[in-house]
Amino acid sequence: MYFIANWKMFGSLNSLKSLDKVIKFFKNFKKNTSSKIIYCPPSTLINPMFKKLKKTPIQVGAQNCHENQNYGAFTGSINTIMIKNAGAKYVIIGHSENRQNGETDKLINTKIKSALKSGLKVIFCIGETLKEKKKNKTNRLLNKQITRGLNKIKSKKNIIIAYEPIWSIGSGLIPKSKELFETIKFIKKKAKNLKVLYGGSVNPKNINELNLINNIDGYMIGGASQDAKKFIDIIKKTYI
């Protein structure tokens, strides 16, 4: 079971103190052998967080990357080699917030290939808008994102998928249980049974409802992961 903390544009060096509670909890957590906790902070915190978590099973990921694996004149960007060098083992690619800023499926595909070549594991995000959902285009859209995003990638063993319906992110709304089960089932069929996580307004209040859906392999947690107590509550409730 994966618990991915996507800190988004949040955090300072002082924020790393909050990890002490999570480290202590995970150290004594009886389920820790089957759980993976991955923190994806802003790039400014990747290395400091890696150093803090170095002696724990908790791993670090980046929130995005540049598609060019080589160094170059790309001001403000970091590539997958730099991300790995900073201590990250994962990278989020294709998040809807970046898709909305112009990332295409083709660009995402190039980024995934670069990440895999650099030895990173990929958290590949897919999801539909509310408009697409209302027009019953969810499966068609997800199929397109999967097909194009994973185009010509032979080995997918280091890829996990995060299904994040765009209309759910930050809204407090989550899909109906039966609907979410069927969507995850569809994704697994199209993506050759890759692990599929759910993301979108995951919090301590709705985690019990989400845990009833038995084909979810973990969660991508945004705002709630910035609060150590809420993040721990989500993990605890998953195993009650």
Asked about 66 being catalytic, the answer comes back as no
Question: Exactly one of 67, 95, 97, 128 is catalytic; which is it?
Answer: 95
How far apart are the C-alpha atoms of 84 and 91, rounded to whole Å? 9
Asked about 164 being catalytic, the answer comes back as yes
Question: Exactly one of 97, 103, 128, 164 is catalytic; which is it?
Answer: 164
Where is 50: in which H helix or E strand?
helix 46-53
Nearest to 216 by CA among 183, 190, 174: 183
CB 181 within 8 A of CB 163: no
Pairs from 16-22 (Cβ < 8 Å, separation ≥ 24):
16/45, 16/48, 16/49, 16/52, 18/227, 18/228, 19/49, 19/52, 19/53, 19/58, 19/228, 21/228, 21/229, 21/232, 22/58, 22/228, 22/231, 22/232
Q: Compute φ and ψ for 27, nearest 5 degrees.
A: -65, -35
Nearest to 95 by CA among 164, 174, 172, 170: 164
Q: List, by residue number, the catalytic residues.
A: 95, 164
